[in-house]
Structures are given as C-alpha cells and as structure tokens.
Amino acid sequence: MVTRVQSAPFDMGAEVQAFTDGASGAGAIVTFSGLVRDEGGTLSAMEIEHYPGMTEKALEAIRTEAVTRWSLTDALVIHRYGPLKPGEQIMMVATAARHRADAFQAAEFLMDYLKSRAPFWKKEKGADGETWVAAKDADENALKRW
C-alpha cells in the first residue's frame, strides 16, 4: 500500500506489474491514469504545485479510507507535481479487492477526491498566458455521492 507524490514520470506498465505482483488475495484490480489534457489545442504546459508533507498526509488519509470502506487488499496512489506537457501522466490510482465492484468503486472514489479535493494547485500555461485551474462543479458533484 503506497502513496507517492513525485515530480518524475512513472512507468504505468511497471507500476501495474508491481502492484499486481503484490496483490495477493485479490480477485480484481482496477487501474486508472490521468493525463494532461489540451482540449483547445493551446496548452503548452501545466504546472502543478503542492505543499510537501501536507499533501502526502492528505493522500494517505484518503487512500486509507478507501482501503477500509471497500475492504481493499491493496491500493496505490501516485500524483505528480511540477511542469507537465499535454499527454503526460498526472496521476495513477490502482485498487485491488476480492470483488470487482469494490475495486471499481474505490478507484472512482479516489479519482473523485484527487480531482476536486486533493491539495494540489494547477496552473495552465498557453498562448494567452497563465490561468489557475479551479475544481469544476461536476467534479464536486461526483465527490458528493460518496
């Protein structure tokens, strides 16, 4: 069970393999990777900032909550910070459980939290300058279902 906040890219395939190798007792594994999206074609980079120490504690607390609520056998949360280009991975969630419904629900819960409440600050950089990214109403509403 791991929570990592890092600036370096990660190898999704290697992470999934290592997670799977350690997921004893699991009948289902769900993985998700979020990417920097350039919807309008004008994004040159996204800068993600965090408060070291506080961010790791917050992510570990929510990961622990997911493990408890859905009786997970394992859970992994990786989130990057620093400058990222369109198409690069921002984060990864992996959940392992005896049954698929628990693995899927826990992964969705973790993703909804990461999208709207995790202590990260995102700034988009493009041709028109820089803009801080706020949580969207849809993301907040998704989190309310939990």
Read off the pLDDT of residues 40-96 as tens digits, 9 standing for 90 and up: 888 999 999 999 999 999 999 999 999 999 999 999 999 999 999 999 999 999 999
Give residues with Cβ within 8 angstroms of 140, minimum separation 6.
116
Q: In which band, very low, low, confident or very high, does the pLDDT at 134 lie, cut at 50, 70 and 90? A: confident
Res 140: pLDDT = 82
- What is the tens place of the pLDDT at every residue in 90-112? 999 999 999 999 999 999 999 99
Helix (H) or strand (E) holding 28: strand 28-35
User: Residue 1 gets which letter from DSSP?
Assistant: -
Q: Are 56 and 3 in contact (CB under 8 A)?
A: yes
Say how far apart CA 129 and CA 98 lie, in whole Å: 48
Q: For residue 137, what are the CA distances in angstroms to 8, 77, 80, 142?
A: 30, 23, 23, 9
Q: Is the pTM of this model over 0.85?
A: yes
Domains in the chain, ordered, with CATH? 2-144 (3.90.1170.40)
Strand order through the sheet with 82-84: 82-84, 43-50, 120-126, 129-133
13 or 140, higher pLDDT: 13
Q: What does the pLDDT read at residue 80?
A: 98
> Would you state the pLDDT for residue 144?
83
- Asked whether residue 1 carries a pLDDT value surpassing 90, the answer given is no
